[in-house]
Chains A and B, each alone.
Chain A
Amino acid sequence: EAGVVQSPRYKIIEKKQPVAFWCNPISGHNTLYWYRQNLGQGPELLIRYENEEAVDDSQLPKDRFSAERLKGVDSTLKIQPAELGDSAVYLCASSLADSSYTFGSGTRLTVV
């Protein structure tokens, strides 16, 4: 079974530039999460989807971050424009309802 697939693995951009991350969850997993993990900290939830509906985006900085999950399968997280403080690892995870998560490898973003 393929795991949660994320791309790219690494991204370096200049501040004020846009960036997008892509996630393909495990087939059949209706719940998809985007987390951000800063250096030395645990993952922090940005947004949770149930199928194609964003049911918890309270921690998503909506002035510059956006996400979508068209057709309730894969998802894209975008930052526009990026700031220096956005440097972090962006993790995607999926699950079946209230089961445990399966994480992807993450995208390490460096904003210079």
Chain B
Amino acid sequence: AQSVSQHNHHVILSEAASLELGCNYSYGGTVNLFWYVQYPGQHLQLLLKYFSGDPLVKGIKGFEAEFIKSKFSFNLRKPSVQWSDTAEYFCAVRGTGGFKTIFGAGTRLFVKA
């Protein structure tokens, strides 16, 4: 069965610090991978996605994620966070051929100004 594991439930960083949020998944076949973000008081929105091709994908607001197939990982990174990045981040996985997307439990990021 598919599953998604996010390593940290809460992360606190100071502005300008680098960010890496871990995501590992369990699925035997080809996958589509997503990171969604939920800012305070707002709805979930897509940050970036990987379907195929270059395993390093770039999203909005300076975020990027790297798909490492051998490690079943899709970690999210940002070289320098801002206070406005305070949000909850969800990793999601969908096996190709089916449209059921499984979400991780989320990582709550708080950036100190």
- List chain A positions with a Cβ less than 8 A from chain B: 3, 31, 35, 40-45, 48, 56, 91, 93, 95, 97-98, 100-106
Chain A residues with CB below 8 A from B9, complex form: 40
Chain A residues with CB below 8 A from B45, complex form: 102-103
Q: Give the shortest distance, in Å, between B111 (CB) and chain A (any CB).
A: 20
B103 proximity list for chain A (CB < 8 A): 35, 42-44
Number of A-B contacts (CB under 8 A): 52
Contact of B32 among A3, A42, A98, A105 (CB under 8 A): A98
Is B46's beta carbon under 8 Å from chain A? yes
A/B interface sample: 18 pairs, CB < 8 A: A31-B99, A35-B103, A40-B106, A41-B105, A42-B103, A42-B104, A42-B105, A43-B44, A45-B100, A45-B101, A48-B99, A56-B99, A97-B99, A98-B32, A98-B99, A100-B34, A101-B46, A103-B45
Of B101, B105, B106, the residue contacting A101 (CB under 8 A) is: B101
